Structure 1
Amino acid sequence: MKRFLIIIFFFSFFTGFSQTKLSGIVIDESGSPIAFANIVFPNSTEGTITNDNGRFYIESDNTYDSVTISFIGYESMDIQLDKKVNYNMEIVLNESMEQLKEVVVYTGKQSKKNNPAVDILKKIWAKKRENGVRKFKQYQYDKYEKIEFDLNTIDSALIKSKLFRGLEFMFENLDTSRVTGKTYLPMFLNETFSKVYGDNVIQEEKEDVLGNKSSGFEGHQAITAFVEDLYTDYDVYDNYLKFFDKSFTSPLSKTGVDTYNYVLSDSTYIDNKWCYNIIYYPRRKNELTFKGDFWVADTTFAIKKINLQVTKSANINWVKEIYIEQEFDVVNDSVFLLKRDYMLSDFSISKKEKSRGIYGKRTSVYDNYQFNTSRPEDFYKSVSDPYDPRVFSRDSTFWSNARLERLNDDEFGIFQLLDTLKTVPKFRTYYDIVSILGSGYVEIDKWNIDIGDIYSTFGFNDAEGTRIRAGARTYFGQNDTWRLEGYMAYGFTDKKFKHGFSAKFLLDRKSRLIVSGGHRRDIEQLGLSLTSTNDVLGRSIASSSLVTVGNNNRLTNIDLSTFNVEMEPLKNFRVRFGSSFRNLSSALPEDFNLDYVDPESPTGVSSEVKQFDINTTLIYTPGRRIIGYGVEPVNVNDDYSTLLLNYTKGIEGFLESDFDYERLQFSYRQPWQIGGFGRLTSSVELGKTFGEVPLSLLSVVPGNQTLFSLYNTFPNLDFYEFVTDTYATLHLEHNFNGRIFSRIPILRNWNLREIVGLRGAWGQLSDENRALSAPANIPLMAPEDQIYWEYSFGIGNIFKIFRIDFNFRGNYLDNPDARRFGVTGSFGFNF
């Protein structure tokens, strides 16, 4: 979500050629707006639909002298157009008294039975798997894609504001959106050309990227990653279309008849094919739905044209408009192939009509289809390198041939505009401020380093008192093959300096062979995770008493050194070999000790552990997408599963290491998009330690004494309340995305979201490990007699940014100071 913040804030700091343009509002006789009314130019397939507030905008490259406005239950109206541009029209529709089949008038709700539009929809369902490239054994085609960001709703007040004083030249050439009618200023453009190959027999597809070119803020990794994550591929024939981590019901879905009203509106020839026009609009407000229309052929029942526009009442944040158009080519009587795909999103802080925002536009053009050319399976396995430097350095001749749709004058102007802006000090200041807020780092370009993370500057806990921290990292660009990073910290109560340092080197880009290492000396809360930390830079929020409940005095001094070798022999399959050496001791021995029985100690007890480990980790993340080929690529999606298998071997005696043991751990995390019912996140973790180890090396069931909702922790457990050497945990969290609240009249307009959670943990602790540790000031307990469990109910999207969870403890209520109930929360900018 930080990437989204960068887009919104960055661009917030910052006359077309059509022949016919119309805008206005459609109302009834009482003055109430009519949502989803049909606006169409006569004898054409060009039209639009009014939004929830009855407003519309339409433009065409053709000249029309009239427009037709209609809606079920009202008399149609033909309006003569005396001029090419007609803005702010007010159109009043009269209620129809026409009787149809003994029904006085159609209402907004359309029947599911005896509806010719629904009959056609059923034929689309039956034929959808026979249309397009699925009809052939093999296929290939060229794909050209351009993604653009524009500042919109530019008026004289904005241009003359102090914010843009001295930058007026930016607004010399403004264009008007053909979808919304708003003026806009292009700020970022990315172009990609690729060849796509597929085989329906063996179910394989690959895309070879041959060219990639960015203009604007191409060096900013967060913006580029946001763009990649924003526009994922979709198929309008699917039951649900995913945008911005939300599942919208497709108007072509088999569940569409329960979600949409359908009206058979018109029929005509398109490219010598007789087609039907069907208008659709949602049955209920506040659901993730579209409004629009589509044209469908009468024999193949393949979609010829379709447009989808998200309703303003849909439960989605920061997005005022989503508009999609798809056009299909008629190859022959039975084959319709996707020709052009256009998507526009209007990002804005407010959904008010005149609020300013950012257009994000993606245009994909497809051409040169070829079929039934068989290729060996190895062809699909050998994917080309999308980060080949040659891909990013194509000349103008390449792009002249690759652009299946030419750039317009405004898009060509982005190159010159951004080159100029980068030399303007005032603009650079705006950029720097927003970049710092989004990334947490202050860029020092002349030294190629970033200062930060600024959000970790201050802290407080019982051991250190007030704490300050400052850090830096090298940063030459998003594809750096090496990176150094470190920090220094100081506690004013313990009067001690702390530090952390790491170094990473990418030795081979193809296999992603990375060598890394580092050292850290600090204070940390280790009771927040079942796995031993090997992070030499991180610091959990649980280490600060400013945001914890109860006594946060079970902190650990950690002196950690690590060395790792990692490679990716197969896509999204990583293998990591590493070693670590750590010294662990209590940061507050009066309140929390890590003592263990040590026959070699003069007192028979030692309070510090020295431990050398080697570990092997296998990580599989199918479906994960990244951007950048450097040592630290950025994830651009979060809907992939993660499977992790880790083996750790502790070696006694090496570097005075204290214990010999083995540990095996497995975890599986999977997000599930459950159609229109929201998103379920599940995770399972299993582990076992073989051998005798003290408390500091055991697996602690993750408690959560913070005020924040942290996934994979138990918010009603204190730190170190349960300690295990064998364990199994399960976490389930489902976000209904407002599906329930949208049906409650009072709550409907608040766009709240329901979240439920269920968590469980089972574990054992051997008698030998209890006897070895036996610290005097905390009990050593494991949830062995019965599975420990919790459940929670949460409300999200409060004022669009807050979430609050009410957490309930299911059992073990007799534990000392057991917390039966707790409230946690979080905040963030989520769609």
Structure 2
Amino acid sequence: MNIYAQSSVSGKIVDSSNVEKPIPNAVLITDQQRYFFSDLQGEFSIELKSGEHIQKIVSIGYETLNAFEGFSILKLSPAKSADSERVDQDEINSIADTQSISSNFSFKSLSKTSISNSVPDFILRKAADIRLTKKEGFQEKLKAVSVKGLDKVVPKMVNKDIYSFDWFQTYIEIFDYQFVSPFHSQHTPHYEFYSIYETPEVKVLSFSPLKKGFIRSFQGVVIIDKLRSKFKKLQVVLDGDFKLNLITDYHPATGLPKKTQAFIYPGTGGTKLSFFGGGLAFGRIQKKNPEENDALLTHQQVFYDFVAEDSISPFPKPFTKIYEDEPGEISEAYWSNFEYAFIADEKETPKTLEAYIQEENIEKRVERISAFDGGYYPISIFDVDLTRLFKFNNYEGLRLGVGVITNESFSENYRLGGFTAYGFKDKNLKYGLNGGMLLNSDTSTWLNAFYDNDIDEVGMNNFLTDQRVYSLFEPRLVNITFFYKYEKYGLSLQHNFTPQLMTEFKVDKSSISQTENYAFLNDGILYDDYDLSTAVFGLRWTPNNTYSKIGKGIYINDTSTPEISAQVSQSFDGVMAGDFSFTKLSAKIEYQIQHSWGSLSSIELGGDIGFGDIPLTHSFHAFPNSPNKPNILSRFSVAGVKSFETMFFNEFFSTKLATLHLKHKLAAFQLSNTIQPELIFISRHALGDFENPEQHQGISFNTLSKGFNEAGFELNKLFFGFGLSFAYRYGAYHLPNLEDNISLKFTFYLKL
């Protein structure tokens, strides 16, 4: 029996010149050429085979340790001279290129994530079949998902990944935060690699950021299988806002991960780490100001049953994650059937967990947090639309309202909704009703009917397929002065050709009336009220976004640029008593560039064109956001997200319009855990024209034919989401009075 006996060895590796300084990423090498690492605290705990012993310990910047008197504290002496060989970046890039064999793969995965803090433990387990193909990339078809103590599955339980599967992509995600990959050719120049140990079979490399203060980076060590030119084992550590220790073993033939262990625990703070968020202690690691210094996330995952064949096809449904069955709580017997011991938990659900979940109403709070992310608050069979509760503008004054839509507790195949709102200044009630029928859940195909009686901004051009933008506070809305009333009914068909390509087709009949002294002169007739019969087709393409299908719902998994939208609308004269015939075409593209140092550049280019008999209500504006008031302080208000801060309301309208928004956001200034302001440099430009402006009576406006320009900056998140915005208007439309060209406002960005 002693032949198979193992012995446990544990200890801590420190700097001999400063025993308070632990040495992470030290490599412990046994006489059987097995390799183990010290963690972020310099600690290690390993199981040695019978007769196996530690032969040496190597670490970058330290002399190799070959003799051992004990293992509790091991001291490494700083190297007097650099005896490590610098590794060329081309070698790293070459290994990265050959890491995975050129084939399609199918394999399986088991994972268990536990979070321990001052409340009962959070334990999430997943079992999945995986396909990795050239056509669809990485896909998971989840067979079981469960959080101990909870009966229902919410999207976050399916979508949340602790770490990125592929360490050779541009950026690595750790618990929703992006870091620079050391092994992508774009970023290897930001790292330095040293060979610290080598045999005919393996090479051990140590890597770290080339420059100190490189905030989105790792330190680590990797073992290269020289015979296959592939990674054998990898460890990375982080020591900052939060702490991380992650070890991955690679499958020798395929080059894919076969086992990963990750440990995350509180660091200096500054970032929220929570599985569900929303102030819920269950599943939380740290707040911005860490309180639970003993909190710990432990993640274990194995990949097994690898099959590599070109004939392997992706899953029929083109989603990154698929979980079609929602069986409720998974029994412990299910998890015990796997041969991997870590996934099972022989303990029954403790009474303290059951009591905690019941007393804190955890299940309902988790559901509400998931719905709240999309701007809803669930109450029984209804989801309350939080975007309709409170608004303010210059026409309605204070607008209070409520909107509801039925949720899956009512039906997965049908939905009913409605809203009502009252403006205390215009003293008018607004309302609407809608309903929908699900035709195909895989393509998210819905047939909808609606009726609305409300107001809209003159010159506003809404894209049908724009994602629902949820904000407790809509900045630009406060300053709008020029609205029109409408009564509208119609039908719409929503259909996703792929998860990345969503479309909507809508037909409606609307009756328009004015809130201001405006009339449209057309064919010798002056219209202040008119009817429109309109058909609209819109599409939105997000080629790099990934989506998940959970039950019959489709959810965004990860967002990435570009984001392209296009729309065509046609109004018909004489059809269903429509008064005018006109056509409008619109398109926009948004693109972001994430930089290595944490900064972000973004560009949005938009274009609109209309021709025919277009009333001013349905023309275009460039999102002006400067109140029509005489001096800087009287115009002090809230800056918009994508608006021209020095352009006065109703100053310009267009039937042809092109806009360009350029932004560059620097990495946040880490003044403290809670005060982390962001500086953004902004440049905005607009060019347009207006055909037949003489048709529009009762209002005077300018065109943008000479080109409008403004530049400025924002200093955001100074205090509780508030910041400051400054913009200056220059160029052809520069105004004679200097202060009329200046905008000074506050900003408000709040992420819950």
What TM-score do the two structures reach when normalised by structure 2?
0.79
Q: How does 1:594-743 map to 2 (within 5 A)?
A: 594-597=518-521, 605-628=526-549, 633-674=554-595, 678-705=599-626, 707-708=637-638, 710-737=640-667
Letter in 2 for 1:116: E
Question: Which ranges of structure 2 fall in alignment gaps of 5 or more residues?
Answer: 1-5, 266-272, 274-285, 628-636
**Which residue, 737, 741, 748 being the options, matches 1:826?**
748
Contact 2:145 2:153 in 1 (8 A): no
Contact 1:556 1:585 in 2 (8 A): yes
Give secondary structure in 1 for the equivalent of 2:160.
Answer: helix
Cα shift at 1:46: 1.7
Between the aligned partners of 1:419 and 1:397, the Cα distance in structure 2 is: 16
2:730 matches 1:810: yes
Aligned to 1:522: 454
Question: Which ranges of structure 1 fall in alignment gaps of 5 or more residues?
Answer: 1-16, 101-105, 107-113, 160-169, 171-184, 313-318
2:415 matches 1:487: no
Deviations 1:46-103 (A, max 9, x none): 22254xxxx4444334599999696626896988658xxx7xx8x8877x5x754xxx
Give secondary structure in 2 for the equivalent of 1:715.
Answer: strand
Cα shift at 1:661: 0.9
Aligned to 1:789: 709
Aligned to 1:772: 695
2:132 matches 1:211: no
Aligned to 1:128: 96
Between the aligned partners of 1:683 and 1:361, the Cα distance in structure 2 is: 39
Letter in 1 for 2:528: S
The structure with more strand, counted as a fraction of residues: 2
Cα shift at 1:693: 1.8
Letter in 2 for 1:124: I
Contact 2:25 2:39 in 1 (8 A): yes
Residue identity (%): 15
Contact 2:59 2:196 in 1 (8 A): no
Q: How does 1:730-769 map to 2 (within 5 A)?
A: 730-737=660-667, 753-766=678-691, 768=692
Give secondary structure in 2 for the equivalent of 1:128.
Answer: helix
Deviates more, 1:713-722 or 1:401-410: 401-410
**Which residue, 168, 188, 198 being the options, matches 1:237?**
168
**Which residue, 84, 107, 126 being the options, matches 1:142?**
107
Give secondary structure in 2 for the equivalent of 1:223.
Answer: helix
Q: How does 1:474-513 map to 2 (within 5 A)?
A: 474-476=406-408, 480-513=412-445
Give secondary structure in 2 for the equivalent of 1:724.
Answer: coil
Contact 2:712 2:725 in 1 (8 A): yes
Between the aligned partners of 1:544 and 1:682, the Cα distance in structure 2 is: 21
Deviations 1:268-300 (A, max 9, x none): 68xxx3343535455312521101211113344
Aligned to 1:188: 124
Deviations 1:384-425 (A, max 9, x none): 787574696999899679957444444875699977765556
Letter in 1 for 2:555: V
**Which residue, 40, 43, 46 being the options, matches 1:60?**
46
Deviations 1:330-383 (A, max 9, x none): 34xxx7443224445442214759536573746251433334x547xxx55954
CA RMSD of aligned residues (A): 4.7
**Which residue, 475, 493, 513 being the options, matches 1:565?**
493
Aligned to 1:324: 246
Give secondary structure in 1 for the equivalent of 2:482.
Answer: coil
Between the aligned partners of 2:46 and 2:395, the Cα distance in structure 1 is: 69
Report the CA distance shift for 1:645/1:20 in structure 2 as closer, same or farther (over 3 A).
same
Between the aligned partners of 1:462 and 1:400, the Cα distance in structure 2 is: 60
Contact 1:262 1:281 in 2 (8 A): no
Letter in 1 for 2:748: S
2:295 matches 1:363: no
Report the CA distance shift for 1:384/1:692 in structure 2 as closer, same or farther (over 3 A).
closer
Deviations 1:747-774 (A, max 9, x none): 99986544333222111101x2x11113
Report the CA distance shift for 1:393/1:307 in structure 2 as closer, same or farther (over 3 A).
same
Cα shift at 1:305: 0.6
Q: How does 1:341-490 map to 2 (within 5 A)?
A: 341-346=260-265, 347=273, 348-350=286-288, 355=293, 359=297, 361=299, 363-371=301-309, 373-374=310-311, 382-383=316-317, 389=324, 405-410=340-345, 423-424=358-359, 427=362, 441-445=376-380, 448-453=381-386, 456-476=388-408, 480-490=412-422
Deviates more, 1:483-492 or 1:275-284: 275-284
Deviates more, 1:430-439 or 1:481-490: 430-439
Between the aligned partners of 1:198 and 1:608, the Cα distance in structure 2 is: 57
Aligned to 1:151: 115
Report the CA distance shift for 1:544/1:309 in structure 2 as closer, same or farther (over 3 A).
closer
Cα shift at 1:691: 0.7
Between the aligned partners of 1:374 and 1:432, the Cα distance in structure 2 is: 41
Give secondary structure in 2 for the equivalent of 1:498.
Answer: strand
Report the CA distance shift for 1:215/1:204 in structure 2 as closer, same or farther (over 3 A).
closer
Contact 2:13 2:23 in 1 (8 A): no
Cα shift at 1:611: 1.6
Give secondary structure in 2 for the equivalent of 1:237.
Answer: coil
Q: How does 1:1-40 map to 2 (within 5 A)?
A: 19=8, 28-29=17-18, 33=21, 38=26, 40=28
**Which residue, 37, 52, 62 being the options, matches 1:47?**
37
Between the aligned partners of 1:723 and 1:93, the Cα distance in structure 2 is: 72
Report the CA distance shift for 1:249/1:511 in structure 2 as closer, same or farther (over 3 A).
closer
Give secondary structure in 1 for the equivalent of 2:664.
Answer: strand
Give secondary structure in 2 for the equivalent of 1:814.
Answer: coil
Alignment length, in residue pairs? 710
Aligned to 2:3: none
Give secondary structure in 1 for the equivalent of 2:485.
Answer: strand
Cα shift at 1:579: 1.0
What TM-score do the two structures reach when normalised by structure 1?
0.72
Letter in 1 for 2:305: D
Between the aligned partners of 2:417 and 2:467, the Cα distance in structure 1 is: 10
Letter in 1 for 2:578: S
Report the CA distance shift for 1:69/1:286 in structure 2 as closer, same or farther (over 3 A).
same
Between the aligned partners of 2:336 and 2:360, the Cα distance in structure 1 is: 37
